[in-house]
Chains A and B, each alone.
Chain A
């Protein structure tokens, strides 16, 4: 079965640089979520999109932005990177209109800021 795809899997950037993370949800899923998991921490919700419209926003810094495109893939753009942005970034997708409703997670993108 198709799963959530994230690219790249690993990314190394320097402080003040910009990073773009991509997420390809499971086909037909209508909702995409982004989570950030710091070292030794639980995942924290950043932002979600339902049918390409932002549906909820969590503790996402103003330096971050995200969008969902017409083909349903989503991108998380991170500017002016800081050391504290080093984390595992997960994308998840779900089908909220007719189920199954649970969120399926991708393998994550590990971002290291040096």
Chain B
């Protein structure tokens, strides 16, 4: 069964520092991969998606992620953290479009001033 692992349930960075949120998937076939952000008491907003067209994917709000098949990883990065980035981030995977999403446990990002 497909699974998604997010290393680190909480990540704390200073404002202006690099953000790195880790995501690994387990699947013999590279799935479609997504990063979603959830602000308190709100729904899930899509940040970016990997669809096999390009390994480096750029998303909204300055985030990007790189798909590395050899490492079965899809880590999310942002060069410079902003206070407004504080939220919970979920990595998710699906085997094909139209299929259910399998989510990681989530990583809460805290940005210190």
Contacts and interface: CB of A to CB of B under 8 A. Distances in A.
Interface of A: 4, 31, 33, 35, 41-45, 48, 50, 55-56, 58, 90, 92, 94, 96, 99, 101-108, 110
Contact of A102 (B46, B90, B104): B46
B102 interface: yes
Contacts of A48: 100
Contacts of A58: 100
28 contacts: A33-B100, A42-B90, A42-B103, A42-B104, A43-B44, A43-B90, A43-B101, A44-B103, A45-B100, A45-B101, A45-B102, A48-B100, A55-B98, A56-B99, A56-B100, A58-B100, A94-B97, A96-B97, A96-B98, A101-B98, A102-B46, A103-B46, A103-B101, A105-B43, A105-B44, A106-B43, A107-B43, A108-B43
Contacts of B44: 43, 90, 92, 105
Contacts, number: 54
A41 B39 CA distance: 14
Which of A35, A58, A96, A105 has the most B CB atoms < 10 Å from its CB?
A: A105
A105 B47 CA distance: 12
Given A102-B46, A107-B42, 18 more contacts: A33-B100, A41-B105, A42-B104, A42-B106, A43-B44, A43-B101, A44-B103, A45-B100, A45-B101, A45-B102, A56-B100, A58-B100, A90-B44, A92-B101, A101-B98, A103-B46, A105-B45, A110-B41
